[in-house]
Amino acid sequence: MTDKEMRAACAIGWPIKQSKSPIIHGYWIERYGINGEYRLEAVPPEDFPAFITNLPAHGYVGCNVTIPHKLVALANSEPDDRARAVGAANALWIDGDRLRSTNTDVEGFVGSLDASAPGWDENLESAVVCGAGGAGRAVVFGLLERGVACVHLVNRTPSRAQALREAFGPRVHPATWEDLPRVLDGAGLIANATSLGMTGNPDVEWDLAPMRDDAVAADVVYAPLKTSLLVAAERRGFGTSDGLGMLLHQAVRGFELWFGVRPEVTTELRALVERALAKS
Ligand code: NAP
C-alpha cells in the first residue's frame, strides 16, 4: 500500500450506531489531511469471527471492537501484553499477514490522567479503584504499569476482585464497599471504574475526607461528564480526570496504528464530542 492509497478502519459492535468513534477519528483524518475513512460496522456475534479474520477483504486496515465482541476479538487475534492482561481486545490491526490486537483502555486511562493531572503518579503509593469489571481491569493494570505500590480494589462481587489479585499479583488488595473509608485513608488516587454514577444507574455518596490533600480522582463514566465523584473531588481541591478524557485518549493508539500519525487530543475535539454526547 502506498501513502496515497485510501485506508479505512471501522468500529464493530452489535449494536454500534451509538458510537462516538467516527466523530473522533473523522476529526483527526481531516486535521492531518489523511486519505482515510472510519466507518461503523454492525456485525452480529455469529458473523464476527469471519469478519475480523477477513478484515482486508472488507477493505479495512484495522478496527475498534466493542460490546459484545471484545473477548472473541482477543481469542481470534494475536494480543499484546495489555490485551492479554485485561482479558479483552478493543483495537485490532493488520500487520503483514497477522491480525494483532491491543487494549487501548489502559492507555486511555493513564493518558487522560497525564493530560489533566500531570504528575499524578509522583510519590503515589496507595490508590483505590472501585470496579473489577472490564474497565476496572484496564485501570488496575495501568496503575500497576506506572509503578503504584498498592492498589485497593473495591468491588461488590468479591470473587471478581480476588481474580484480579490472582492475575496481577500481591500489589492488588481486594476490598469491599464497607472497607472504602479505611482504604481511602492516606490514598493518593481514587478511580471509579464501575457504572455507578452513570445516568440511570445508582450513585455513591463519596466521602473523600480521609485522602491525601494532593490526591487525584478519575472516573470512567462520561454520562454525565461531571460525576458525583468528580464533584466531591473538586470540593476537596483534587486534580481530576473524567471519562470523556479516557474515551478520547484511548482512541489515540488505534488511529496511530491504522493511519501512521500519532494524533493529538485537542480542546476542539473534546468540545465536538461533548456536543454530540449532549445530543444523545
Ligand atoms: P462491567 O464489566 O459490566 O463491570 C461493571 C462494574 O460495575 C463491576 O465492577 C460491577 O460490580 C460494578 N457495578 C455495577 N452495578 C453496580 C451496583 N449496583 N453496585 C455496585 N457495583 C456495581 O462494565 P465495564 O465494561 O467495566 O464498564 C463500566 C463502566 O465503565 C461503564 O459505565 C462504561 O461505560 C465505562 N467505560 C468507560 C470507558 C471510557 O473510555 N471512558 C471505557 C470502558 C468503560 P460487580 O462485579 O459486583 O458486578
Residue 47 has pLDDT above 60, yes or no: yes
Q: Are residues 35 and 99 in the same domain?
A: yes
pLDDT > 90? residue 70: yes
Cα-to-centroid distance, 37 and ligand 1 (Å) = 31
Specify the DSSP element, H or E, that contains 276: helix 267-279
The H-assigned helical ranges of 59-157 are: 70-75, 81-86, 105-116, 134-145
pLDDT tens-digit series, residues 162-215: 999 999 999 999 999 999 999 999 999 999 999 999 999 999 999 999 999 999
* Entry pTM: 0.96
Amino acid letter for position 188: G
pLDDT tens figures, 240-269: 999 999 999 999 999 999 999 999 999 999
- pLDDT band of 280, cuts 50, 70, 90: confident
Structural domain includes residue 99? yes
Domain count along the chain:
2
Residue to probe by mutation, ligand 1, list 21, 172, 220, most atoms within 8 Å of CB: 220
What confidence score (pLDDT) does residue 4 get? Answer: 65
Output the domain CATH number for residue 17: 3.40.50.10860
Q: pLDDT by residue (tens digit) across 12-44?
A: 999 999 999 999 999 999 999 999 999 999 999
Whether the link from the prior residue into 22 is cis, omega within 30° of 0, is no
For the record, the C-alpha cell of 105 comes out as 483502555
* Cis-peptide into 44, omega within 30 deg: no
How far is Cα of residue 172 from the mean position of the Cα atoms in its chain? 19
Residues 211 and 128 in one domain: yes
Domain shared by 82 and 175, yes or no: no
**19 domain-assigned:** yes
Say how far apart CA 204 and CA 238 lie, in whole Å: 18
**Residues 189 and 253 occupy one common structural domain:** no
Sign of the Cα torsion 111, 247, 277, 224 reads: negative
Same domain, 236 and 115: yes
Cα 54 to Cα 60: distance, rounded to the nearest angstrom: 9
Report how far residue 84's alpha carbon sits from residue 158's, in angstroms, rounded to the nearest whole number: 22
Residue range 212-233: average pLDDT?
A: 97
Look at the chain and count its residues: 280
* 20 is known as an active-site residue: no
> Could you give the C-alpha distances from 89 to 15, 81, 134, 145, 199, in angstroms and in order?
17, 11, 10, 18, 26
Q: Is residue 74 part of a domain?
A: yes
Please report the atom of ligand 1 found closest to the CA of residue 132.
9
C-alpha span between 92 and 41 (Å, rounded)? 14
DSSP state of 36: E
With cell 449494536, the residue in question is 15
C-alpha separations of 239 from 19, 207, 259 in Å: 28, 16, 33
pLDDT, tens digit (0-9, with 9 covering 90-100), for 80-139: 999 999 999 999 999 999 999 999 999 999 999 999 999 999 999 999 999 999 999 999
Nearest to 120 by CA among 248, 206, 239: 239
- 142 in any annotated domain: yes
Domain, as residue range, for 142: 106-241
Task: Dump the DSSP string for 182-245.
Answer: HHHTT-SEEEE-SSTTSTTS-------TTS-TT-EEEE---SSSS-HHHHHHHHTT-EEE-HHH
Question: What confidence tens digit (pLDDT) does each residue in 118-135 have?
Answer: 999 999 999 999 999 999
- Tell me the CA–centroid distance for residue 272 and ligand 1, in Å: 25
The residue assigned the cell 481514587 is 190
What's at 225, amino acid-wise? Answer: L
Same domain for 126 and 166: yes
4, 70, 226, 279: which one is catalytic?
70
CA 170 to chain centre: 23
- Closest C-alpha to ligand 1, atom 34: 221
CATH code of the domain covering residue 130: 3.40.50.720
**Total Cβ atoms within 10 A of residue 19:** 16
138 Cα distance to chain centroid: 7
2 within a domain of the structure (yes/no): no
Same domain, 33 and 138: no
Note whether 259 and 229 are same-domain residues.
Answer: no
Residue type, 168: F
pLDDT at 3 over 80: no
Query: In percent, how much of the chain has pLDDT > 70?
Result: 99
- In a domain, residue 212? The reply is yes
| 143 shares a domain with 185 | yes
- To which residue does cell 458473523 refer? 47
- Are residues 234 and 258 located together in one domain of the fold? no
Ligand 1, CB within 6 Å, residue ranges: 105, 108, 131-136, 155-157, 160, 194-196, 198, 202, 220-222, 243, 246-247, 250
Question: Are residues 236 and 111 both part of a single domain?
Answer: yes
| Residue 1 in this model has a pLDDT that exceeds 50 | no
- Output the CA 3–ligand 1 centroid distance in Å: 40
- Considering the domain architecture, whether residues 90 and 14 belong to the same structural domain is answered as yes
17 in a domain, yes or no?
A: yes
Ligand 1 atom with minimal separation from the 202 CA: 18
Q: Is position 1 within any domain?
A: no
pLDDT of residue 5: 85
The pLDDT tens digits of the residues spanning 150-160 come to 999 999 999 99
Give the chain's radius of gyration (CA, Å): 19
* pLDDT over threshold 90, residue 2: no
